[in-house]
Amino acid sequence: MRTLVCSLLFLACQCFGQVGSAASPPKLESAARLPVTRVILYKNGVGYFEHAGRIRGKQNVNVDFTTAQLNDVLKSLTVLDLGKGRITGVSYNSVAPLGQQLGGLRLPVGENASEADFIAALRGARLEVRNGESSATGRLLSVDKKEVPGKDDKKITFNELSVVSDGGEIRSFGLTPATSVRIMERDLNDEVGHYLHLIASTRDRDVRRMTISTAGDAERRLLVSYISEVPVWKCTYRIVMPPTGKPLLQGWAIVDNTVGEDWSNVELSLVAGAPQSFVQELSQPYYTRRPVVPLPENAMITPQTHEATLEESPPPASAAAGVVGGVPGGVPGGQMGGVIGGIMSSTVPSGITAGIESSVNNGELIADMIESGTEVGGSQEVGDLFEYKLKDHVTIRKNQSALVPILQMRIEAEKVSVWNPSQDCVLRALWVTNNSDLTLDGGSFNILEGDAFAGEGLMDPIKPGEKRLLSYAADLGLVVDAKEKDDNRKVTKIVISHGVMVQTRADRQERTYTIRNRDHSPRNVVIEHPARPGWKLEDGQTPDETSASFHRFRLTVEPKKTATLKIVELHPVSSRWELTNITDKEMTYFAEGKMITAEVEQALRRVVTQKNEVASFDAEIGSRKAQMVSLSEDQQRLRENLKALKGSAEEKALVERYARELNTQEDRVQAFQKELGDLHQKREAAQRTLNEMIQGLQLETTI
């Protein structure tokens, strides 16, 4: 919001000269009201307001608001003395919440107190109570509810006052319409008056008057600006289709004045943008909640606290025949408007409603009106903001609404019939090109064609130079039938590189659209074909344009004829294989499924053969290691047996036998170690050959 206020302040400084030139600010008397001179309405539900006038000397001026406006005004108020004076202060009748104000009174009574509650709040006060001929003067002791028996065993409940008289006597009085209570203490009477004044002020709490105090000598101009919550303005369009020439686009805005003050001869601008804004309760007094700290016994420390185009293809030469109003790209002439505060503005002619009703009954008058009445201002985009600035000042009384013109221009539009798979019928539409420098805000539109109403629809915002389909009616003269044919193809391409084989196959889908024109006039038909992720059109098929969800193809269907449109899409699917993981079984699968060519098969066979050779060395090495483990275990057994022998004559033969076996096994271990060394060398050589073969294999082929 800080950025918004700065921008609006810059707007005010730049534009004040224009406001003064269009209508000089009125001279104000002492404490006069400062009228609204300029209004800018935004699409996010806020409005920018300027009040301007002439002041002299030390003069005060008033600006009235409602309570709903006050928070926004306090957050954004800017006051400028545009002469040799100064602003000395701004004050307003701030009202704290009623409950907070009542809490400051001596009377412990709420906002919606009953008679009994009010009198009970006077406990201890000196009163005079009368009920018929009975009376008593003293201090109020209490107000209690009493029950007495009634008819049919029902009990009657009433309130009873108890008063301690000056003589010490306790007197009780039923609180009935005949009972009067008079407060005898002057201070308490004043407090009751204050209470009633606060209660009465709730009727006027919707009115806030801000007084701006100034100081200076000569006559000078004063400018006050702020933002306020307002209803969102709406756009609605009319498109008039003449027999010849370009269509007329006429834009209107629906504006509501609900701020509680008349807009008399104000400069009105409508901004189709949404600057950041928020609500903050600045007008309400804010109280912090303090902790309650008990008295310490000892020392204690202090407590801590229709989709837009994404891609556009050049239209075929034959498409120009369907354009209404000639060749696209022309920009209507007119006065160039100024740029206000960096926001695009456009000047709109006054009196554009004149002659419309009679023109729709005469196509030639429409063309004449367009040529003489179209006037479009200059434009400039800054971010997402763009502005429609009315040429003439407007007057809208408070609590009233108005339909104000915002633009009138010729547009490029092609009449087409649109078929979409989600629709049950073919739609009549205009393929509109925004050939102006203006952004067309979103809203409803109405088509006038052939001296009558032709249909209506909705449109999203259209940027300058953007093309958009606007459908408005059903086309009963066309019938469209769509049929699909799927074809799951085999592998179409193989690429081997850096030890990886990538197989690419393509799922193929063919969709045929059959269009029958039953009417007596030709049709320019737009087929919206779904644009699916991962699918691409076959080479040679180019749509006129592509949106986020559809490819749009255009074709012409002659009267009483049938035309077809065939669209083929391919969905490539890739499979990745590491060459080091390919086995003989997979080679058989590739060959039998005709998934590889003979050249690829030969290359892969060599890789698999070399891979098998490495695997055979791995098997032999594993076998030798297993044998060595077995020998090691047997040697350990013999050594344990030798330790168990005690060297007797009978055991000497066993010792010699065990020793011979150990010697034989040791020879075999040495032989195995030598064989393992040779096998490791051969295996490493075979692995190097395999690696070089895999890395050196670079192949690309198409099946």
Residue corresponding to tokens 């064989």:
675
Cβ atoms < 10 Å from Cβ of 220: 17
Nearest CA to 412 out of 460, 470, 472 is that of 470
Nearest CA to 530 out of 509, 560, 499, 557 is that of 509
Separation CA 521–CA 687 (nearest Å): 76
Residue corresponding to tokens 């800017």:
78
- Provide φ and ψ at 224, rounded to 5°: -125, 130
Whether the CB-CB separation of 305 and 288 falls below 8 Å is answered with: no
CA end-to-end distance (rounded Å), the chain: 64
Identify the DSSP state of 290: P
Question: What is the Cα gyration radius of the chain?
Answer: 47
Cβ atoms < 10 Å from Cβ of 545: 20
As given in the structure block, the two tokens for residue 95 are: 């009202």
Cβ atoms < 10 Å from Cβ of 86: 10
Whether the CB-CB separation of 388 and 343 falls below 8 Å is answered with: no
- Provide φ and ψ at 92, rounded to 5°: -155, 160
SS3 label, residue 449:
strand
For the chain (703 residues), the mean pLDDT of every run of 10, in chain order, is 37 35 47 83 87 85 78 84 83 64 67 76 82 84 80 79 84 83 81 73 63 84 88 90 87 86 87 71 65 57 52 50 36 31 36 34 43 38 66 86 87 90 86 85 87 87 88 90 77 82 84 92 92 87 88 92 92 85 84 81 87 88 84 77 67 72 79 85 89 87 79
Whether the CB-CB separation of 444 and 457 falls below 8 Å is answered with: yes
Residue corresponding to tokens 């009377």:
107
**Beta strand segments in 272-361, E:** 309-312, 323-324, 347-348
Separation CA 646–CA 606 (nearest Å): 63
Residue corresponding to tokens 């005010």:
12
Q: Which residues make beta-bridge pairs with 429? A: 416, 471
Q: Which residues make beta-bridge pairs with 89? A: 213
Q: Give the CA distances from residue 319 to residues 244, 331, 461, 520, 551, in Å, rounded to whole numbers and listed in that order.
A: 18, 20, 25, 20, 17
Length of the chain: 703
As given in the structure block, the two tokens for residue 4 are: 């918004």
Q: Give the count of alpha carbons within 13 A of 630, CB side only.
A: 8
Q: Which residues make beta-bridge pairs with 79? A: 224
Residue corresponding to tokens 């609900």:
258
Residue corresponding to tokens 């019928």:
425
SS3 label, residue 579:
helix
As given in the structure block, the two tokens for residue 446 are: 């109405």
The predicted pLDDT at position 273 comes to 66
Identify the DSSP state of 295: P
Separation CA 222–CA 214 (nearest Å): 9
CATH 2.30.30.520 fits 108-191, yes or no: yes
As given in the structure block, the two tokens for residue 1 are: 């919001």
Whether the CB-CB separation of 550 and 567 falls below 8 Å is answered with: no
Whether the CB-CB separation of 375 and 410 falls below 8 Å is answered with: no
Domain boundaries, the chain: 2-95+206-230, 108-191, 314-474, 478-577, 584-702
Separation CA 116–CA 197 (nearest Å): 20
DSSP 232-287: PPEEEEEEEE-SSSPPEEEEEEEEEE-SSS-EEEEEEEEE-----------SS---
Separation CA 78–CA 86 (nearest Å): 13
